[in-house]
Chain A
Amino acid sequence: MFDHDILVIGAGLAGMRAAYTASQSGADVAIVSKVYPVRSHSNAAQGGINAALTDRGDDWEDHAYDTIKGSDYLGDQDAIEIMCREAGSEVISMEHMGVIFNRDEEGKLGVRSFGGQRQARTFFVADFTGQALLHVLHEQILKIGARVYEEWFVLSLIVEDGECHGAVVMEIRSGEVHAIRAKAVILATGGLGRVFEPSTNALICTGDGMALAYENGAPLMDMEMVQYHPTTLKANGALLSEAARGEGAYLLNSEGDRFMQEYAPNMLELASRDVVSRSEQTEINEGRGIDGCVLLDVRHIGETLINEKLSQIRQLGIDFANVDMVHEPVPIRPGMHYQMGGIKTDVNGLTNIMGLYAAGETACVSVHGGNRLGANSLLDTLVFGRRAGDHASNVVRSRQHSDAITDQYAERERNRLQEMLNRNGGGELFGKIRLDLGEAMNTHLAVYRDQQGMETALEELKGLKTRYDRVIVHDKGKTFNTNLIFTLELGFMLDCAEAIILGALERKESRGAHTRTDMPDRDDSNWLKHILIAKDENGQPDVTYQDVTITQWEPQVRSY
C-alpha cells in the first residue's frame, strides 16, 4: 500500500497541470497513468489554445460570449467567465515554461482564427499545439521530480461514506495490484471516444474516469452532448485540424460549391463545429456528397504556408487518404471527436464526493455546454486542472489518511480480476463487443438522432452487457496483460454508453450537438437545464436536473 496527499489519475494536460500546481503548493503528489505521460491524448489537439490577451486589445468577455453562444447557451456562465478570464495568464505561464508558440513580426505570440469566434485569439504551435504543450508540461514534471506511476491502470476508487480515500491500481508491467491511499483524488482521465466507432480519439480514450465516478454515485452531466468534428478522414477516422479552416480552407460539395454559404453566411467554414458538421451531413444525406464525404480544399493557401502551418495534416492526408492536399482536395466527413459532458464538478473541480475531483474532458464544469469551440479544450484542461490542483492542495492540509483503508480493497480487486481470468469457454474476446458497441453508437447517436434510433441503441446496449458478462481473456499471464486491460476498459465504455443514451433520450429538444430530427427546435422554456445521471443505491441510473447558470448573457437565437 502506498500513501500520498494527492493522487492524480491521468497524465494528460489536465492531470499534469493539477499535479504541477499541487506539488508547487507543497503537497505530496503522485500521478498514476496507464501510458507514459507523453503518450496521452492531449497530444492530438492540433490547432491551438484560445485566450483573450487584454494587453493587445482583446476582451475576455468577447471570448466568454463566443463560448456561451457556441455552447448553445447550455454552458454555465460563471464557469465560462472564470475560464476566459484566466486564459491569458495560463497561456503566458505555458510560454514561460518553454512552449514554442508561433510569433508575430515583433516576436510576440501570434494568433490564428478558429471556428465560432469573431476574433482571432487562438495561440498555436504549427499544427501540433497539444503535443507541444504536453511535452513541455512533462518537462516541468521531470524538473520538479513528481512521482509518476507510469503504465499503472486504475481498477477502482476507494469511496466510503461519500468520501474518497484513494484508488486501487494495477502495475501493468508486473500485474501487481496495489491500494494507494490519498487524501484527495483528481480524475483527469480524458475522454471516451472509443465508445464510438470510428472516432478521432486514441485507443486509450475509454472513459475510465467517468465510469469510475459513475460507479461510485457521482453524477455525470450532459452526457448526450457528443461532438462530431467536421473534418475527419474516412479511412480511419483521423482528425484534420480546424486549423485548416482557420488558415482559410474551403468546404466543397460534389458540385464544387462552398455549401457553408447556405448554412452560415457570415462565418462560413468557421461557424461552430455542430453547425458545420450538421451542414456537411445534410449535404451528404441530400446526395451532394462524394462517397459519404465532402471535400476540404486548401490548395489556394499554397505549398509554403501549408508546410509551415499545416504540415502534419498534409502528412495525414498522404498517409491515410492517398491525397496530397497541396495538389487536390481531401475527402472528409463528420466524426466523433469530443465529449462535452462528463463528471459534474464545481469551478474548483470538486465532485459531489468529498475528496474526489475531476478536470479536463472527463469533467463537466460546464464550460462547453452543448458544443465546444475549437481550441477551448486545451484551455479547459489547463485552467481547471490548475484550479483542481490548487483547491485539493489546500484541502489536504486539514485531512488525514483514513485508517480504515487497508489492503482488503486491493484484495477485492485481485479476486475480481482472477475470476475474470479464470473464465473459459462460452464467451468471446472483447474485440467484437467493442466494435458492435461503437457502431451502434455511431449509427444511432451521431450528428442526427431520433427517438427510435436511441431506443434501439439502448436495447442493443443491454445485449452487449450480457455478452460482456461472459467475456473471456485469452492471456492468463501477469506480465503486461493488455488483453485484461482492454477487457476492463470495455466495462468502463459500456457504462459511459449507458449514460450517453439515457441523457440523449431524456433531452426532448435539439440543442448544440444533440440534434433530433423528430424534435428539431431548441426549447428554452423546458430544457435550458443540465441533465444529471447518477447511480442510486441499487445501482440503477437516476435522472435529475440542474438549472444553467446565467450571469449576463440571455439566450438568443443562434446563427452564424
Chain B
Amino acid sequence: MQVTLNVRRYDPDSDQPVPYDQEYSVDVDENATVLDGLIKVREEVDGSLALRCSCRSAICGSCSMRVNGQAILACNTKLTDVVLEGGRVDIEPAGNMGLIKDLVVEFDIFWDKVRAVEPWLQPEGEEPESEYIAPNDDMVHLAGVMGCIMCGACVSDCTVLEVDRNFLGPAALAKSYRFVADPRDDADESRLDELNESGGVWDCTRCMMCVEVCPKGVDPMGRIMSLREKVIDAGHTETYGARHAEAFTRMVRHSGRVDELQLPIQTFGMFNVKEMIKLIPVGVRSQLAGKRPPIMHQKNPGMSNVRCIFNRVEDKR
C-alpha cells in the first residue's frame, strides 16, 4: 500500500528556522502503523527526520504526535484508519508544548505540572511490617488511572492549556486523583486544598478532548470531575466552581432546567460588583446575537421526570 506521509518539519539549526511540510511517499504493509511508516522514512529515506519512539506497543508513551489534527500514539494507530483522500496522512508534532525539532517537542511543561501535584504516596504513621491491607476493588479501580503512560496526548490537545498555561492540565490532575483515591495515601486534605486553587480542578471546561485522545482509556476528565466532588466534600463550597455546580444542580432539581440568567448571579453573588461588571459585555453580546435567556425562567414541562432521575441517583448513592 502506497501512502504519502505529509510531515510538519522544523530544523532549529537551519538558517531560517520555520516549520514547513515535507511529503514522503512510502510503500507499507496493510497492517502498518503510522510509526512503521515514519521509521521506514527514517531508516531508508531521510535519516534526518527526528521523532521519539521506543516500545512500539503503546506502553512507553514516547510517540505521541498529531495525525490529521488530533493527538495519537503513532505506534498503535494504523495508517489505513487515518489515511485521507489521495492516500495522504498529515503528521504534526504534539500541541501545547514547544518545538525542539520535527516531531520532537519540549516535555518540560508536562513534567513541571506532574511534579507540582507531589506525585508520590504520602502515608502517615508507622509503616506496617508487611504490606498495607487494601481492598482489591480499590486497587483495580486505581489501575485504570495508573495505566497512564505519560504520553502527553491529553496535554497536547487540552483546549484550556491552549489559552491558560497556569492550568495543571489533564495528565497531572489524573495523577493527583491516583493518590487521592488511594486508600494508603493520607495527604488528601492538602492535596484537595491545592486542587481547589486557581489552575486546579475548576479550570477544566469539560470539552472532552483529553478523554477522546487518551490512548489508554485513563479518562482524565472523569478523574477531574471526581476530584471536584471530593473537593466539595472536603468542605470547599465557596469557590465559584463549587457554587456553580451547586446552583446548577439546585435549579435543575427545582425547575427541570437551568435558569441561565440566575446561574452567574448565584455563582458569583449579586453584590460581587467586579464579576457582575465582567458579565455586562457577555450580556450585550448575547442580546445582539438573539441568545439572551428569558427574563422570566420557565419550568421544564417534564420536570416530574427530571425529579425522578434525581431521586433515583440519590437513592443509588
Contact = CB atoms under 8 A, between A and B. Distances in A.
B47 A479 contact: no
Given A38-B150, A125-B146, A480-B50, A107 B135 contact: yes
B100 interface: yes
Interface stretch (A128-136, A501-509, A531-539): A128-136
Given A95-B131, A202-B54, A204-B54, A35 B48 contact: no
Interface stretch (A1-9, A138-146, A386-394, A443-451): A138-146
Nearest to A140: B120
Contacts of A53: 130
B127 A96 contact: yes
A470 interface: no
Interface in B95-152: 100-102, 104, 107, 111, 114-115, 118-121, 123, 127, 130-136, 139-140, 142-143, 146-147, 149-150
Contact of A239 (B47, B57, B123): B57
Contacts of B256: none
A262 interface: no
A44 B46 contact: no
B135 A103 contact: yes
Contacts of B118: 143
B44 interface: yes
A106 B130 CA distance: 14
Contacts of B250: none
A255 interface: no
A518 interface: no
Interface in B44-97: 44, 46-48, 50-62, 76, 78
A44 B13 contact: no
A103 B55 contact: no
A477 B43 contact: no
Most buried by B among A106, A236, A429: A236
Residues of B contacting A: mostly: loop
A167 to B, nearest CB: 22
Contacts of A236: 36, 56-57
Given A96-B132, A110-B136, A202-B60, A36 B55 contact: no
Most buried by A among B107, B146, B184: B146
A435 B44 CA distance: 11
A39 B62 contact: yes
Interface string A297-339: 0000000000010001001100110100000000000000000
B120 A142 contact: yes
Contacts of B246: none
Interface in A458-493: 473-475, 477-483, 486
A486 B54 CA distance: 12
Interface in A409-450: 429-432, 434-435
Contacts of B51: 482
Contact of A98 (B44, B120, B133): B120
Given A101-B131, A109-B131, A479 B60 contact: no
B289 to A, nearest CB: 45
A53 B131 CA distance: 11
B62 A35 contact: yes
B130 A128 contact: no
B42 interface: yes
Contacts of A481: 50
A139 B122 CA distance: 11
B59 A128 contact: yes
A198 to B, nearest CB: 10
Contact of A235 (B31, B120, B131): B31
Contacts of A102: 136, 139-140
Nearest to B136: A103
Contact of A139 (B13, B36, B111, B119): B119
Interface residues of B, number: 59
B156 to A, nearest CB: 16
B134 A103 contact: yes
A38 B61 contact: yes
Contacts of A55: 130
Interface residues of A, number: 69
A143 B117 CA distance: 11
B59 A108 contact: no
B11 interface: yes
Nearest to B148: A135
Nearest to A475: B48
A92 interface: yes
Contacts of B182: 98, 100
A132 B47 contact: no
Interface string A5-40: 000000000000000000000000000000110111
A197 to B, nearest CB: 12
Contacts of A107: 133-136
A395 interface: no
A238 interface: yes
Contacts of B142: 100
Most buried by B among A102, A105, A202: A202
A504 B140 CA distance: 44
B56 A238 contact: yes
Contacts of B134: 103, 107
B139 A139 contact: no
A107 B99 CA distance: 46
Contact of A430 (B43, B61, B76, B127): B43
Interface in B15-47: 31, 36, 42-44, 46-47
B47 A429 contact: yes
B287 to A, nearest CB: 51
Contact of A322 (B31, B100, B101): B31
A105 B133 CA distance: 10
A320 B104 CA distance: 25
Nearest to A308: B140
Shortest 6 CB-CB contacts between residues of A and residues of B: A431-B43, A98-B121, A474-B47, A475-B48, A477-B13, A103-B136
10 contacts: A38-B149, A98-B184, A103-B134, A128-B143, A132-B143, A320-B57, A430-B43, A477-B48, A477-B101, A483-B48
Interface of A: 35-36, 38-41, 43-44, 53, 55, 92, 95-98, 100-110, 125-126, 128, 131-132, 135-136, 139-140, 142-143, 173, 202-204, 235-236, 238-239, 308, 312, 315-316, 319-320, 322, 429-432, 434-435, 473-475, 477-483, 486
Given A202-B55, A203-B53, 14 more contacts: A35-B60, A36-B111, A36-B150, A38-B60, A43-B59, A92-B131, A96-B132, A107-B136, A108-B130, A125-B139, A139-B120, A431-B44, A434-B43, A483-B48
Interface of B: 11-14, 31, 36, 42-44, 46-48, 50-62, 76, 78, 100-102, 104, 107, 111, 114-115, 118-121, 123, 127, 130-136, 139-140, 142-143, 146-147, 149-150, 182, 184-185
